[in-house]
Structure 1
Amino acid sequence: MYSEGVFQFYFMNMPQPVILIQQEKHQLYYKECNKAAQQFFDKMEDKIIIKEENQLFYTLCEKAIATKEPIQYQYIQLFQPDRHAYEVTFTPLFNQATAPSHVLVMAQEIHYKKTQEESTRLLDAFLENTVDAILIADCDEKVLTVNGAFEKLFQWRKEEVIGKRRQEMNIVSKKEEQENLKLIEELKNGKTLSPYETVRYTKSGESVCVSVSCSPIYDYQNQLVAYSVIYRDITAIKKLELELIKSKQWYKSLFTNHHHAVCMLNLDGTILNINSAFLETLQLSASDVLHKNYRDIAKRLGACNYKRWNVYEEISYSTELTFRRSQHSIQHVYITTIPVKVNNQTVGAYAILHDITPQKEAEEQLAYTLKELENIKYALDESASVMIINASGTITYVNDMYVQYSGYEKEDLVGKYYRDAGLNHDHHELLETIKSGKVWRGQLEMGTKHHQSYWVSKTIVPLKDIDGNINHYVSIHNDITEQKALENKLHFEATHDSLTGLPNRAMLLKELNKVIEKGQQKSDEFFALLFLDCDNFKQINDEYGHHIGDEFLKAYTKRLKSCVRKGDRIYRLGGDEFIIILNVTNGREIEQIARRIHVSLQQSWNVRGYCLRTTTTIGVSIYPEDGESAASLLKNADDALYKGKREGKNNYILYQT
């Protein structure tokens, strides 16, 4: 049962932190704490414990109250030297009704357990992560544990060997067992054992070459309680040693059968031995070479830089020599000298000669080709804009002319994906052509950094690697903006009326044929062709002059445009004749538009201060009932027009057969 006096008497001066928790109306409060706990919990009397902020602490207090039993919990944060470890006991205190009303929380520092746990974790980590097989046995030869590397090397599972005597595993052969037991006894007696190499056996009886290290294990009282055996697999090393023995035998044949020229020299530079490739490479006989000094042979072969060939280097040494046998016979060789040492003393050298004449000639040809390419690149850079893009679409190069025309800086482009650098062309035919490895040529509209458009004549060339795979695309283009503008101007002038700006007869026939072609592909296509003629235009020209007549035609065109809808097209055939193609769906709609145009064109005109009055006669033909060709539609609309003229002008007439 809780009493404040009891708490002050028993717990206030204890070195361990002690806290008293009170439960009231299903809520926990900090009630009291001793001096040791105040360093962790300041001013907590009658303070409500927030469950969400102290989830674990709150839960343990509730559990102690619910079970009416003390609960222990260990706070251990491993491998954090600045954090203490505690074992905390939550003890419920009972009131007179035997129901817990308080919880006494007492913390006991357990640093030794933290140290012990850290040591155990480190040892476990070492055992399981080392590549060496480890066995630990007690002084009675019973296996305490083995690691994963042991299981893998010797094929014994841990559960099979723990508690088993080491000798029962037959890792050591019967022949060596006595000697092995003797070594173990020496180890138990405190003698230090040096690592040694031997053979051990797996569960299936296979032999393994290992390096063995044994170490004693002492308890806290320095008493021997166990020992460890570390087995390092050296099978690969042993195989390598055998291979080295073989290689010594093979080396004898290397000298003789090497495809490069090889000779052996003593410290005086005298050639002691040669292989057949040496004679073949230098085109000499054995008598020309054996027991001759290498300097004399170098002079005979016309070597101009043989002094760089030094056989007395302490380390391997390489250089190139050029033999000029005659004015037209040049041979390039690459020579490597390797010192021969006996008892760490240089006694001679091997010289290996490799004829690199073809390589040198190729290098000269490459240098010539690179110079040609450099000149071509210079000429290209001075005459065209060039961009190089890799196979993944990243820009790797732009020249100065490209920068000049595009307005971008090089850093804006190089390293960027081409679509992110303003080259957002969805040109299907272009992409398909270059991806197939073919060259594409054509004209494209480009955009500068400042969103100004310009036209270029572009050539894109795919570049392939030695395997035939495309790795880059070279884009070369020239600015044709002025040329394109001239072409557009000429095309406009060729297809449009210079006075009104309307499409002319040539454009009419081209576009009318397109509309008819579209109608032939769609069974429900329907449109009307209106043929307009200004009834008294000649009178305006005669009375007011051609300049007023021209201004009238401009105003006439403007009024026509105001009468038609978006999608309808107006054309001037010449003089006072106009054509309108109406996109309509029925005859009633045709009559409504024709009537609107007819009424609008009867209104007076104010041209340069003159009030002009004129009328218009309109002939109408309908596709497909009045014709399925441009010629028949125009003829029938013209016939309807002149029927309207004969009937008094200033009307609109639908063609009738």
Structure 2
Amino acid sequence: MNQILQNKYAFLIILLILGVLSNLLDELVHRAFTIPNNIWYEIIDVTVMVSVTAPLLYWMINKIRLDSNQIQQAKDELQQIFDTSNANFYSLDLENKKVKVSQGIEKLYGYSKNDFLNNPELWKQVIHPEDKRYVEGFEVCLSTQELKAKTQEYRIVRPDGEIKWVEEHVTPLFNSLGQVVRLNFIMLDITDRKKVEQELNQKREELKISEQNYKTVVDISPIMIVIHQEGKIVYANPKASQIAGIKEPSNLIGTSIYDLIDPSSINTFENMFQDLQEGKLKSKFAEYKLVRPDGDTLIFEMLGTNIFYNGKPAILSVGRDITDQKKMETALRQLAYHDELTQLPNRRFLYENLKKSIARSERHNHKFALLFLDLDGFKKVNDTKGHDVGDLLLIEVSRRLTQCVRDEDVVSRVGGDEFVIILEEILENEVHEVSKRIIKEVSTPYSINDSTVHVTTSIGISIYPHNGKNEEDLINAADKAMYFAKNKGKNNYKIYDPEIENSINSKFEFFEKIINHFRND
């Protein structure tokens, strides 16, 4: 249309130019021929004007006809595209209240072209009630002529009740006065995208709730949870701060994890830390001692595992306080393997330790001695002074025996007033020295409850491997040697030798003859 108007203006200008040229030609002809105004002058004038203007008129007419055809062809092509395209667009003529709708809009909205043509307000009426505010804001802008190209999203309701999400791109067209005369809309069906967004939002919400629940569980957890990166604590739950003796978990953030580890457990922790960092293990259990600011030491069973925290590799350490459990285990072990009165190892401990001593001696090819002690005169003390004094006497004897041997030697109480001592990696002359020292210390008078008490001891000794290669043989040999020493006057010691067996056998034969004699009588 603009092209046609431009051609009309050009045509008028050319006619004006032709008029001016005609006058000029007329003047030139008149002067050239100096002919008065007569019929010949008119003929020449007309002939010149026609010869000049005719080609120009012919060119202009063809040009206008060609431009008009091209414009009409372009309009037909655009109309064909508009009518047949599956694209979602429509055009609203605000001056003539006419609507043009593409085939795609029909599919998107579910209404026919005629529905839109018969009801220009239909595009607003199908908008979801909850999204009407978009149209209201749009109309305000339209009424104030402040409308600009914009994009917005809203829902529409199809005739079958299905709800679709659309993304609307609107472009206003203005007249020469700056008034909006047409609105062109391009609509995109974003229903599937919105479904995906809603699913993602739902997943995010579920994840957020899950994280909140997880954080709640972690915060109220009775176990210690710490996350550290490169040795620095980046997260600690309230239980961790409670164990560490620190008021708030945030006060632990940024501190070294090594500040919590007792020096005696540093090597164990570093080994675990290194194994996890190098990927040798995915997770690892270990026991550590944790030290509090007040100096208290706790024993913890901890699991370390590799994780990612805030996008960076980290180690999650989860631990539980087993201090009380360890104390209970120690107490139970004490009850199971130690004498309740003297706190010395008991018979069970002796047998287990004796097995280990035999294995070590066999492996390293060295000797060890087993001393079997029995107190002389203990029964008399017990009967005359009472069991309380007897118990205190046993405790004091145990203390003296422990002081007579090395720290690595084992002193055990195996009966009422019987003790067994294991001396590993010792020479025979050293066995004599220890035995003499024990006899001297035990026979020294005891002051108990304002009373002076006297006891002595008889010691029988067996040497591994000469006097036995197992526990029973060694104990039996030492026991026989002890009775031999007791029969020889007590308060002395005897190393086992085969002659003891002959002496014992002879003694039994003597008593058997006496018994048989009385039986015969």
Length-normalised TM-score, structure 2: 0.62
| Other-structure match for 1:381 | 219
Aligned partner of 1:367 in structure 2 is 205
Match of 2:8 in 1: none
Q: Does 1:633 align with 2:477?
A: no
Partner in structure 1 of residue 327 of structure 2: 485
Q: Is the counterpart of residue 495 in structure 1 residue 334 in structure 2?
A: no
Q: Is the 8 A contact 1:318 1:335 kept in 2?
A: yes
2:200 aligned counterpart, secondary structure: helix
Alpha-carbon distance in 2 for matches of 1:262, 1:504: 96
1:650 to 491, 497, 501: 491
User: Structure 1 residues 620 and 401 mapped into 2: Cα distance closer, same or farther (>3 Å)?
Assistant: same
| Pairing partner for 2:397 from 548, 552, 556 | 556
Give the deviation of 1:616 after TM superposition.
0.9
Of 185, 193, 196, which aligns to 1:358? 196
Give 1:413's aligned residue.
Answer: 252
Q: Which residue of 2 aligns with 1:305?
A: 131
CA–CA distance in 1 between the matches of 2:365 and 2:393? 39
Deviation (angstroms), 1:624: 3.5
Tell me the residue number matched to 2:267.
426
* 2:298 paired residue number: 454
| Aligned amino acid, residue 580 of structure 1 | I
- Between 442-451 and 303-312, report the one with greater CA deviation: 303-312
- Cα pair distance change 1:300/1:318, threshold 3 Å: closer
- For 2:483, what is the secondary structure of its paired residue? helix
Which has the larger share of helix? 2
Report how far residue 527 of structure 1 moved.
2.5
Report if aligned partners of 1:505, 1:572 keep a CA contact under 8 Å in 2. yes
Q: Which runs of 5+ in 2 are unaligned?
A: 1-80, 142-146, 499-521
What do the CA deviations read for 1:571-607 (whole angstroms, capped 9, x no partner)?
1112111122223342222222122112222222222
State which drifts further: 393-402 or 351-360: 351-360
The equivalent of 1:396 in structure 2 is 234
> What is the match of residue 506 of structure 1?
348
In the alignment, which residue of structure 2 is the partner of 1:64? none
> What secondary structure, in the 3-state scheme, does the structure 1 residue paired with 2:414 have?
strand
Distance 1:378 1:285 in 2: 53
Q: CA deviation at 1:294?
A: 11
- Measured against aligned partners, the alpha-carbon deviations of 1:475-516 in whole angstroms (never above 9, x if no partner) come to 344444334333322322222111111121222223333333
RMSD: 4.4
Instruction: Choose which of 541, 556, 564 in structure 1 pairs with 2:382.
Output: 541
Amino acid at match of 1:452: D
- Higher Cα Rg: structure 1 or 2? 2
C-alpha contact (below 8 Å) 1:533/1:578 kept by paired residues: yes
SS in 1 for 2:333: helix
Partner Cα distance (2:229, 2:479) in 1 = 60
Asked if 2 retains the 8 angstrom alpha-carbon contact of 1:570 and 1:578, the reply is: yes
Secondary structure of 2:463's partner? strand
Residues 1:316 and 1:616: Cα distance change in structure 2 (over 3 Å): farther
Residues 1:454 and 1:523: Cα distance change in structure 2 (over 3 Å): closer
Alignment match, 1:579: 420
Measured in 2, the distance between the counterparts of 1:579 and 1:328 equals: 97
Letter matched to residue 308 of structure 1: Y
Name the structure 2 match of 1:566. 407
- Post-superposition offset of 1:460: 4.4
Distance in 2 (CA, whole Å) between partners of 1:622 and 1:294 is 118
* Aligned match of 2:50: none
TM-superposed CA distance for 1:647, in Å, is 3.1
Displacement of 1:363: 2.4
Aligned pairs, number: 390
More strand by share: 1
Structure 1: tracts of 5 or more residues without a match: 1-255
> Identity percentage over the alignment?
26
Alignment correspondent of 1:445: 289
Report the equivalent of 1:519: 361
SS at match of 2:130: coil
TM-score (norm 1): 0.50
C-alpha deviation, 1:621, in angstroms: 2.3
- What secondary structure, in the 3-state scheme, does the structure 1 residue paired with 2:365 have? coil
Distance 1:504 1:454 in 2: 29
Quick one: distance in 1 between partners of 2:231 and 2:112?
61
Q: Quick one: distance in 2 between partners of 1:583 and 1:446?
A: 36
Tell whether the 8 Å contact from 1:389 to 1:473 is kept in structure 2 after alignment. yes
Q: 1:324 and 1:595, CA in 2 relative to 1: closer, same or farther beyond 3 A? A: farther
What is the CA-CA distance between 1:545 and the residue it aligns to?
0.9
Q: Deviations over 1:374-397 (max 9, x none)?
A: 234323422424433245333111
- The answer to whether the Cα contact below 8 Å between 1:388 and 1:472 also exists between their aligned partners in 2 is no
| SS class of match (1:387) | strand
Q: Distance in 2 between matches of 1:415 and 1:288?
A: 71
Q: Is the 8 A contact 1:584 1:590 kept in 2?
A: no
